[in-house]
C-alpha cells in the first residue's frame, strides 16, 4: 500500500500542468507574504521606491524632486502601481506576490530541464520561501523586480533556440539592468558564454543570435 501511494503521488506530480504549478506557487506566495500586506514600513529601500514612484505620478521627472541611485525602471514599477491603484500598500505588496510567483515559476521551468517534475515543483517552492521570509524580503525590493525579468530570460536561453527567443531574452536582461545596475556583470558573462558557444562549439547558437541578445 505505501508503494502504491508513492506511485500515485508521483503520477499526480507528473500530470500537473504548468498553469496548475503557477497557481500553486502563487497561492503559496500569497499565503507567506499576506501577513505583511498591511504593514506601513518593512524596509527603507521599499519606502524610498514608493516615494520616488509617487513623485513620478505627481508629474515630476525622475531624479529631479527626489533622488536615488537605482535605475529608473525600479521607480517606474512603483509609479505604475500607484497610478493605477492609488496609494495602496496592499496593491504594492500584491504586485510583489506576482513578481515572486513569476520568478519561482521560471525557476521551476529551468529545474524541469534537469530533474523530475516533483523535484522541480519543490525547487519552485523553495524559491518562494527564500524570496519571502528573510530580512527585508517581505516588502517589494528591487531584487524582486529584477529577478522577475532575469530568470525568465535565462529560461528562454536554455530552452529555446530561435532568434526571436534570444532577442526576447536580450530584452528581458536589458530590463534587468534598468532595475539594478550590478546585474550588468552576470549579463556580460552570459554574452561572453554565447560568443563562446557560437565560435568554439557545435551548438546551434549563431552569431546573429549573439548580436540579437
Reported as a single tens digit per residue, the pLDDT across 114-165 is 888 889 999 999 999 999 987 777 889 999 999 999 999 999 988 766 788 8
**pLDDT number for residue 130:** 93
Q: Please determine, for residue 46, whether its predicted confidence score (pLDDT) is greater than 90.
A: no
The verdict on residue 12 lying in a domain is no
| 132, 80: one domain | yes
**pTM above threshold 0.75:** yes
Q: Give the end of a domain, one of 104, 123, 140.
A: 140
| 30, 124: one domain | yes
The verdict on residue 82 lying in a domain is yes
Q: Give the end of a domain, one of 92, 121, 140.
A: 140
| 136, 147: one domain | no
Q: Please determine, for residue 15, whether its predicted confidence score (pLDDT) is greater than 80.
A: no
**pLDDT number for residue 204:** 66
| 191, 102: one domain | no
Question: How many distinct structural domains can be found in the chain?
Answer: 2
In contact, 132 and 100? CB cutoff 8 Å: yes
Task: Please state the length of the chain.
Answer: 213
Residue 53: name the closest of 72, 69, 33 by CA.
Answer: 72
Q: How many angstroms separate the CA atoms of 50 and 195, rounded?
A: 39
**pLDDT number for residue 2:** 57
Greater pLDDT, 40 or 61: 61
pLDDT, one tens digit per residue, over 97-127 is 999 999 999 999 999 988 888 899 999 999 9
Q: How many angstroms separate the CA atoms of 52 and 46, rounded?
A: 10
In contact, 143 and 189? CB cutoff 8 Å: no
**pLDDT number for residue 146:** 95
Greater pLDDT, 160 or 171: 171
| 31, 121: one domain | yes
**pLDDT number for residue 104:** 97
| 134, 153: one domain | no
| 134, 31: one domain | yes
- Cell numbers at 79, concatenated: 509609479
| 131, 146: one domain | no
| 44, 136: one domain | yes
The verdict on residue 185 lying in a domain is yes
The verdict on residue 10 lying in a domain is no
Range of the domain at 150: 142-213
Average pLDDT of the residues of the chain: 87
**pLDDT number for residue 8:** 56
Greater pLDDT, 10 or 13: 13
Q: How many angstroms separate the CA atoms of 69 and 49, rounded?
A: 11
Greater pLDDT, 79 or 6: 79
**pLDDT number for residue 5:** 57
The verdict on residue 11 lying in a domain is no
Q: Please determine, for residue 21, whether its predicted confidence score (pLDDT) is greater than 90.
A: yes
**pLDDT number for residue 210:** 83
Q: Give the end of a domain, one of 93, 119, 140.
A: 140
Q: Confidence class of residue 53 from pLDDT cuts 50, 70 and 90?
A: very high
Greater pLDDT, 39 or 203: 39
Amino acid at each position: 500500500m505505501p508503494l502504491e501511494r508513492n506511485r500515485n503521488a508521483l503520477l499526480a506530480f507528473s500530470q500537473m500542468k504548468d498553469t496548475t504549478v503557477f497557481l500553486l506557487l502563487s497561492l503559496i506566495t500569497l499565503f507567506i507574504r499576506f501577513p505583511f500586506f498591511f504593514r506601513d514600513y518593512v524596509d527603507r529601500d521599499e519606502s524610498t521606491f514608493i516615494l520616488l514612484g509617487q513623485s513620478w505620478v505627481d508629474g515630476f521627472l525622475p531624479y529631479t524632486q527626489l533622488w536615488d541611485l537605482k535605475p529608473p525602471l525600479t521607480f517606474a514599477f512603483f509609479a505604475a502601481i500607484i497610478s493605477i491603484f492609488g496609494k495602496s500598500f496592499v496593491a504594492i505588496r500584491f504586485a510583489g506576490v506576482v513578481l515572486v510567483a513569476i520568478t519561482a515559476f521560471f525557476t521551476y521551468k529551468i529545474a524541469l530541464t534537469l530533474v523530475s517534475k516533483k523535484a522541480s515543483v519543490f525547487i519552485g517552492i523553495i524559491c518562494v520561501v527564500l524570496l519571502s521570509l528573510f530580512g527585508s524580503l517581505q516588502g517589494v525590493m528591487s531584487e524582486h523586480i529584477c529577478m522577475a525579468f532575469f530568470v525568465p530570460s535565462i529560461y528562454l536561453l536554455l530552452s529555446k533556440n530561435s532568434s526571436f527567443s534570444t532577442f526576447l531574452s536580450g530584452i528581458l536582461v536589458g530590463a534587468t539592468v534598468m532595475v539594478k545596475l550590478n546585474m550588468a556583470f552576470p549579463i556580460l558573462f552570459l554574452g561572453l558564454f554565447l560568443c563562446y558557444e557560437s565560435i568554439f562549439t557545435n551548438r546551434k547558437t549563431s552569431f546573429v543570435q549573439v548580436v540579437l541578445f
